[in-house]
Amino acid sequence: MAVPTTFYQQLPPPPHLAEFVRYFWIAEGQEITAPYHFSSVANGCAQLTFHYKGSFLSPGTDQVVPEFYLHGPSNKPTEITTQENFGIIGVALYPYTASLLFHTSGQEVSNKVTVVQEVFGTGLRLLEEQIATSASHQERMALLTQFLAEHLLQNKRSYTPLIKLIKAEIDAGQLPDADKLYEQLYLSRRQFERRFKDLLGFNPREYTKIQRFRYSLQRYQQDPDQSFTQLALSSGYYDQAHFNRDFKEYSGVTPTSYFSEDTQAQGLQL
């Protein structure tokens, strides 16, 4: 039996989209015969995804996953699978970008998969055909870059200071601190929480919990030899029990299971 070969790469966005896009990513797989899993844990950020080769199913429902969709900021894990050779281009967005892209409240896109064509209409079919038939990753990136620029550069609403603070915190790889953001904006607590939820889809407390969990994943990658107790404390948790509880809620599994070699070998974790 042939051994599956997979490829994953992250690419930086062009400067004019750097305020909205964290990075582009490419994932491809060849010689896929057994089910290959794409697992997405809870994420305060959003993903714009296009499948240009192969088809994917949602486990449990066997529903075919749309070709071009937005997975909004989420507080729960999701998974898709395939048994075909595949090719995917994705765009990792900042938390606020999804609501700006779709001209809607963050609450309308959080914890949801939104088919992009349902928002932008049948005029998007040409773009989808061009991406699907592109000869290179660079061409696909250029097409998605043009699409995003057309719909984002003129739509910053009135929340630019909040956007800049959230972006700076993520880029610095810092532990999330909603109270610190609140203090820097000179807003009442109620105003801050309303703007925050309208832009990101979650209240500040829930967003902070999600991003602290994501921060723990980064910390583990930096030092995989540390104990889970050390990881919990360095990620801002009171103790390992608190860490384990949040980890299970946001990933669907325990830390031991998530970081095991068997789990890592079964697919790609985003």
Give the position of tokens 């949040």: 246
Sorted by where each begins, the domain ranges of the chain are 5-153
Among residues of the chain, what percentage have pLDDT more than 70? 93
Lowest mean pLDDT among 58-62, 67-71, 160-164: 58-62
pLDDT at 116 over 60: yes
Distance CA 261, CA 265 (A): 6
List the structure tokens of 142: 């250029």
* Alpha helices (runs of H) in 172-227, residue ranges in sequence order: 178-185, 189-200, 204-222
Q: Residue 11: in which H helix or E strand, if any?
A: strand 5-11
The CATH class of 5-153 is mainly beta
**Can you say whether residue 236 is alpha, beta or left, with left for phi > 0 and alpha for psi between -120 and 50 degrees?**
left
Confidence of residue 36 (pLDDT cuts 50, 70, 90): confident
pLDDT at 269 over 60: yes
pLDDT in tens, 151-206: 998 765 666 888 888 898 888 887 778 888 888 888 888 999 999 999 999 999 99
Confidence of residue 145 (pLDDT cuts 50, 70, 90): very high
pLDDT at 266: 58
Average pLDDT on 108-118 reads: 93
Average pLDDT on 244-251 reads: 96
Confidence of residue 92 (pLDDT cuts 50, 70, 90): very high
Distance CA 106, CA 109 (A): 5
